[in-house]
C-alpha cells in the first residue's frame, strides 16, 4: 500500500489530472474533499471514455498494425476536456478497503469489479492506495521469505 497518495480535489481540472498521471506514471488517483474524504476516483479509463472517437480504427491483419482513422478528432475531444472539473467525469461509486482488510479480499474486489486501484480509508478518510502492482509485490515478497 502506498501511504503518500497523489490525489486531487473535485475542482481540479482534467488537464491537471492528465499532467499528474503522466508526470507520476500512474493510471488513476483518488478525488478528495478538504477533509481528505474520498469523493471519487479518476482513472485513465475515465479519460478514455470521454475522449473516445466514433470513427473506425483500421486494422491491417497481415501486419497487426492499428491505424486510427482520425487522430485530429481524438485531440479535439481531449482539448475540450482540459478545463472541465474532474468532478464531472470521475467515478463516484468507489470501491474502498479498510486498513485491516486482508490482501486476498482486496485482490478479489479488484478482480470482481475489474479495477486497478483501491483507496484505503479510515472513517472514509483516505489513508492509502492499493494497486494491482502492490499485491503482486506483496506476493513476491512472501514467496521470497518462504524460499
Distance CA 84, CA 70 (A): 23
> How far, in Å, are 35, 75, 93, 147 from residue 38 at the CA level?
9, 30, 10, 39
Distance CA 63, CA 146 (A): 45
Helix axes 71-81, 44-51, angle to 10 degrees: 120
For 32, list phi and psi in degrees, rounded to 5: -125, 160
Look at the block and give the residue holding cell 472517437: 53
CATH class of 8-146: alpha beta
Read off the C-alpha cell for 136.
503482486
For 7, list phi and psi in degrees, rounded to 5: -145, 170
Domain locations along the chain: 8-146
Q: What is the pLDDT along the chain (147 residues), one digit of tens a residue?
A: 899 999 999 999 999 999 999 999 999 999 999 999 999 999 999 998 887 655 555 555 555 555 554 566 667 777 888 999 999 999 999 999 999 999 999 999 999 999 999 999 999 899 999 999 999 999 998 888 776
Contact between 5 and 30 under an 8 Å Cβ cutoff? The reply is: yes
| pTM to 2 decimal places | 0.81
Look at the block and give the residue holding cell 472541465: 84
Read off the C-alpha cell for 134.
502492490
End-to-end Cα, the chain, rounded Å? 23
Amino acid at each position: 500500500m502506498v501511504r503518500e497518495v497523489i490525489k486531487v480535489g473535485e475542482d481540479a481540472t482534467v488537464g491537471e489530472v492528465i499532467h499528474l498521471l503522466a508526470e507520476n506514471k500512474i493510471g488513476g488517483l483518488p478525488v478528495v474533499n478538504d477533509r481528505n474524504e474520498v469523493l471519487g476516483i479518476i482513472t485513465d479509463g475515465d479519460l478514455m471514455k470521454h475522449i473516445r472517437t466514433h470513427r473506425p480504427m483500421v486494422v491491417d491483419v497481415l501486419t497487426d498494425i492499428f491505424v486510427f482513422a482520425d487522430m485530429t478528432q481524438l485531440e479535439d475531444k481531449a482539448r475540450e476536456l482540459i478545463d472541465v472539473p474532474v468532478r464531472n467525469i470521475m467515478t463516484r461509486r468507489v470501491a474502498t478497503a479498510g486498513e485491516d482488510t486482508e490482501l486476498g479480499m482486496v485482490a478479489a474486489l479488484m478482480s470482481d469489479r475489474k479495477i486497478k486501484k483501491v483507496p484505503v480509508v479510515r472513517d472514509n478518510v483516505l489513508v492509502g492506495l492499493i494497486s494491482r502492482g502492490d499485491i503482486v509485490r506483496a506476493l513476491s515478497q512472501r514467496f521470497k521469505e518462504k524460499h
